[in-house]
Chains A and B, each alone.
Chain A
Amino acid sequence: EVKLEESGGGLVQPGGSGRLSCAASGFFFSSFSMIWVRQAPGKGLEWVSFIGSRGSTIYYADSVRGRFTISRDDAKNSLYLQMTSLRAEDTAVYYCAKMGQELWFGNYSTGAMDVWGHGTTVTVSS
């Protein structure tokens, strides 16, 4: 069974830090690009950060660039999101998702988000 499971969410004070993890199973993790998507309470979906297969290509949304760092450990089949300087507006459910292989850009692919984790909630509040 193809599965993603996030962990690491919780209550964080403004200005604080946190690290989210996403454990993957049931597919060849290292071959796929991965993405973090978040959803603020009562709001829609917002992509946060992307990492290509092998970690060579990384993108961030403007809202988190310079504060969040995405990484992956293919040996552990795991994806991470290090979050610093957290703000109230970062409060959201954070999902990790696997991207399909529909478009190829050199050494990585992208596609629709075909597998999602259940999400982990990050609350930034004093």
Chain B
Amino acid sequence: EIVLTQSPGTLSLSPGERVTLSCRASQSISSSYVAWYQQKIGQAPRLLMSATSRRATGIPDRFSGRGAGTDFTLTISRLEPEDFAVYYCQQYGLSPWTFGQGTKVEMK
């Protein structure tokens, strides 16, 4: 099983700031099959990014993803008020499909 470790656990930031979230895998993920999801309180997760760097439909371009092998990142270039949420990375290249434990981006 591929274990995903996200860091940091929580970030306290202000609107307008740039943020980079990290996701490290316990083994190399084939073909960069990594996704990122955003979850707000009381809501279902929403797909932000697939295949490391492909934005899902309707996701603004302030969100970007990169990485390969075991290290992946999600960057929000300029935080908007609606971006404060929990972010999960997930690998889907190999069953079992595993999630990271999440990074909470909270407003300072």
Question: CB distance A113 to B99 under 8 Å?
Answer: no
- State which residues 31-68 of B face A: CB under 8 Å: 31, 33, 35, 37, 39, 43-47, 50-51, 56
Question: CB distance A114 to B88 under 8 Å?
Answer: no
List of A residues within 8 angstroms of B51 by Cβ: 102, 112
Question: CB distance B92 to A95 under 8 Å?
Answer: no
- A111 at interface by CB-CB < 8 Å: yes
Partner of A44, one of B44, B46, B99: B99
Partner of A61, one of B50, B92, B96, B101: B96
List of B residues within 8 angstroms of A9 by Cβ: none
- A45 at interface by CB-CB < 8 Å: yes
- State which residues 60-108 of B face A: CB under 8 Å: 88, 90, 92-93, 95-102
Question: CB distance B97 to A50 under 8 Å?
Answer: yes
List the one stretch of A18-26, A75-83, A116-124 in contact with chain B.
A116-124
Partner of B44, one of A103, A114, A118: A118
What are 10 residue pairs bridging A and B, where the CB atoms are less than 8 Å apart in the complex?
A44-B88, A45-B88, A59-B95, A102-B92, A103-B92, A111-B33, A111-B50, A114-B47, A114-B56, A118-B43
List of B residues within 8 angstroms of A95 by Cβ: 44-45
Question: CB distance B47 to A113 under 8 Å?
Answer: yes
B residues lining the A interface (CB < 8 Å):
31, 33, 35, 37, 39, 43-47, 50-51, 56, 88, 90, 92-93, 95-102
Tell me how far the C-beta of B31 lies from the nearest C-beta in chain A, rounded to whole angstroms: 8
Tell me how far the C-beta of A106 lies from the nearest C-beta in chain B, rounded to whole angstroms: 14
Question: CB distance B102 to A112 under 8 Å?
Answer: no
CA distance in complex: A111, B47 (Å) = 11
Identity of the chain A residue whose Cβ is nearest the Cβ of B1 in the assembled complex? A62
List of B residues within 8 angstroms of A86 by Cβ: none
Tell me how far the C-beta of A17 lies from the nearest C-beta in chain B, rounded to whole angstroms: 24
CA distance in complex: A118, B88 (Å) = 17
